[in-house]
Amino acid sequence: MTEQHDFIGLANAVIDAEVDAIKAMKANLDSSFEGACKAILACKGRVIISGMGKSGHISNKIAATFASTGTPAFFVHPSEALHGDLGMITGDDVVIAISNSGTTEEVITLSSLVKRLGTKIIGMSGDVQSPLAELSDYHLDISVEKEACPMGLAPTSSTTVTLVMGDALAVALLEARGFTPEDFARSHPGGRLGKRLLVHVKDIMHRDDALPACLPKTSFKDAILEMTGKKLGATLIVKSDNTLFGIFTDGDLRRCFEDGVDMTQVTIGEVAHQNCYSTHADELGVNVVNLMQQKEITVLPVVDDNNKVTGIIHMHDLLKAGIV
């Protein structure tokens, strides 16, 4: 008979153990954390993060988080550093050395060597009396009461706490630098994330000859021809000085049919939707998506600060740009 296991129960136990470890680490934050942040902010070089084994994997992720949030950083493997890569590190850098035990030979050797260069050392270990703690200019306590592994052998809670400590440093520095979503986008130009943070209305709007527009006195028939010819399901109504008067959409056309409007007897200005929403060319595309979804509309006039029409944007444009 196959042995039954409570996999959900086991998973919950692991999650509880790691959550408890994260909560407990708050009590270990002290002036060293503040000192580490200040040292990194004052750094004229790069932040180098180093660790062996599982700590090395966590170091790689912390370095990536730093680099993408405004703190230039990269990972150096301690063994490789001792065989040539040490030349990557200068006295202007800051080294974050990670070892749960605080005794990892390669990490200790690397830390000792770079300290001679005048490099600031931020140590992360689970032992405040460890050799790494003694070498560090600032030591961050990542100790845990127990690992989530029932045997207490596999790094689980300890690696999670290390990762969270790295995130805490990165986000604290992000806030201190005044890092903006646009700054973040410059580090993530590819894919949907970059597009959502970098694409502005002016990058994808229709303008000039592609812009459907009519004067208020334009006949209903000619306005419909303009709307269908530009294939955006709408035409803007503009005054003679190019100021926005209103908009007429295919939805408005259906309502005219339903209301029995005599289309041979009205101008487009008489049936246009005058109190319409609009946007600006410098607005982020993602903000336009939010407005369109909130107001349940699919097309927006683009105007300048004087309400002069500069373009028009359709939900399909935002879809094609990968923002939605």
Residues 94-110: tens digit of each pLDDT: 999 999 999 999 999 99
Report whether pLDDT(90) > 60.
yes
Label the pairing between strands 47-51 and 234-238.
unpaired
Label the pairing between strands 234-238 and 244-249.
antiparallel
Q: Domains (ranges, CATH) in the chain? A: 7-179 (3.40.50.10490), 201-320 (3.10.580.10)
> What's the rounded Cα separation, in Å, for the pair 121 and 32?
11
Residues 258-297: tens digit of each pLDDT: 888 888 899 999 999 898 999 999 998 889 999 999 999 9
Residues 175-231: tens digit of each pLDDT: 998 877 676 766 666 666 666 777 899 999 999 999 999 999 999 999 999 999 999
What's the start-to-end Cα distance of the chain, in Å? Answer: 51
The pair of structure tokens assigned to 203 is 């990058």
DSSP string, 25-53: HGGG--HHHHHHHHHHHT-SS-EEEEESH
pTM of the entire structure?
0.69
